[in-house]
Chain A
């Protein structure tokens, strides 16, 4: 029972922080921790170093899908992506990864990049 209460509390904290802190301004500490985790648990292998996506996974950032859906997807992917259980990646850690992805630099307008001229 205590465990369930704790889990509920955690959920509240994480989703709460997503709405308040994360949605507005992730802290530098969160971004830094998220960057390290994003590498450490291998998200970068498929979604590439800056979350820009590639042949093995879609783009995740900036503007990732809302945090609750993000967490739900990582726990129970619908397609080929391997699942990450709470045992190997906590919701707080996923929140940090989310913060890292949220704050990736938006690209310059494509038409201003001569190397990408059609």
Chain B
């Protein structure tokens, strides 16, 4: 505000004149042009102008406001929604306290290379700030997360907002994708502007992702066709449903084994060439290993022994040729260390994996001679037998402790699978580590792209519950049955997201993997106890969630979610799941609390 303006007495008319509109209405025009279906937010006064424009001017559709009880929930919902739907969600938050809550979830999305579109409210003009706007005011709001967003801006005018909002969307969606932040000045949202001041909405044109250089792709195809035992390792490969189709085509053209590291749904779990369940053996056998958007290639071909004196060893053959195809080579930041250890490779293609597959498939087919086809077929038969044997071992392993109480995690997954396998299901929960012993991935038939949504990215716990609700929100309009295996420690971060699911009638079956503790962490502390040789029996201290036990069914019920449990007898599980599924099929969330074995 200028000195002259400060000295001017306030106008009599305190509502918008007919020839005026507010800045945040224009912001909604731009946001609508980008196609957001939802905007997730915990309400905050620094973006009250935009909030009002979304619900009144925008009609609360596209985007529809989703009420969240924590900004971490807003961002994690958007994170998983993207992985199910392929479209980002918008999130609104205070530039200070809201972003502070959201920060970990933004970090997860960044590590997972997932776009989340964050709109922050902030009052830049100190001469206009109300009391609360002082501690909700910041010079440079995005500074706090700048290390783990791809781009941010603080527009100074509405025209500037229009350009930056569209630019941010484009940048977020260009592989390697990542979250972006736009900070919205309170004055820019709230001050009237003349309707004569014509503000165009810039047109969005998404950039096509970078493909591998053709000479390098030919070289890779030659190596693959000549290999005796090629292995394709996919992690964040499938950006779109077509990514799965392309990887199947490449694997079948070569009759090569595939390991799906699972940050995305890359490859059908029961495809005969899927070697994920015998990953270590497959890596050890391979003479050519191709990492397709693998976030940690070093750990794919090496092992680290977690003892008092850590040691490493190569698990791939010393002579194996190593190749990477990844946008990771196009984008790296300094501070946060998610780039992992440097692995020496024989060929590095800096390009998007999915976009490079068509030309790689074409080159492989072109170079494949009749002799090689026969070799490929024999290899395919061997791999088919190896994956069949691994699946059989998984079934037998799952049968141990079948009748035990608390319920074994294998039994939990097998019972859930029995109830959903004839439905159009989607497993919306996913974890940093294979919390449920990886049983779902070992036992279930994952074939459709939305059936598996990958991990938290940065290992930040508290992602699981909101991510499940976000994935379920995406699945809702497709009529898919969303199921989550919900860990107890994760739910306790921000259980209010269950209320969000009830409030917005988001159908989701959450089955608790309630082992009454942070057992992964207990294991780490016990490892320290052992290494220091001073007794292990107190190792659980600080990692337990018992005494008192938490009643998750009542927690959920208190927020309007149908819930049952705690279930300790495995034979009670199937009937409880059926009752809960009946509720979910009516379009509502439900939760079954199952007391389980540790992992």
Chain A residues near B (Cβ < 8 Å)? 40-42, 44-46, 48-50, 52-56, 59, 79-80, 82-85, 87-89, 104-105, 107-108, 110, 113-116, 118
Contacts and interface: CB of A to CB of B under 8 A. Distances in A.
A44 B597 CA distance: 9
Interface stretch (B126-134, B196-204, B497-505, B532-540): B532-540
A52 B399 CA distance: 9
B437 interface: yes
Given A42-B523, A42-B526, A114-B418, A59 B400 contact: yes
A45 B522 contact: yes
Interface residues of B, number: 47
B307 A55 contact: no
Majority-rule SS of A interface residues: loop
Given A49-B401, A82-B307, A88-B535, A116 B597 contact: no
A48 B435 CA distance: 12
A115 B597 contact: no
A49 B411 CA distance: 13
Contacts of B399: 107-108, 110, 113, 116
Contacts of A79: 305
Nearest to B525: A42
A42 to B, nearest CB: 4
A16 B547 CA distance: 41
20 contacts: A42-B539, A45-B523, A45-B599, A48-B401, A52-B397, A55-B437, A80-B306, A82-B531, A83-B531, A84-B536, A88-B534, A88-B536, A104-B401, A105-B401, A105-B404, A107-B400, A107-B401, A113-B414, A115-B418, A116-B399
A52 B533 CA distance: 26
A91 to B, nearest CB: 16
Contacts of B536: 40-42, 84, 88-89
Contacts of B433: 55
B396 interface: yes
A85 B395 contact: no
Nearest to B536: A41
B404 A49 contact: yes
Contacts of B414: 113, 115-116
Given A42-B540, A54-B437, A116-B443, 17 more contacts: A45-B522, A45-B599, A48-B409, A48-B597, A48-B598, A52-B400, A52-B408, A55-B599, A56-B523, A59-B400, A79-B305, A80-B307, A83-B530, A84-B536, A107-B401, A108-B399, A110-B395
A26 to B, nearest CB: 19
Contacts of B533: 85, 87-88
Contacts of B35: none
A59 B415 contact: no
Interface string B400-417: 111110101111001101
Contact of A44 (B396, B527, B598): B598
B438 interface: yes
A5 B333 CA distance: 62
Contacts of B537: 40-41
A104 to B, nearest CB: 8
Nearest to A88: B535
Interface in B358-405: 391-392, 395-404
A105 B398 CA distance: 13
Contacts of B527: 82
**Chain A CB within 10 Å — which of B399, B415, B539 has the most?**
B399
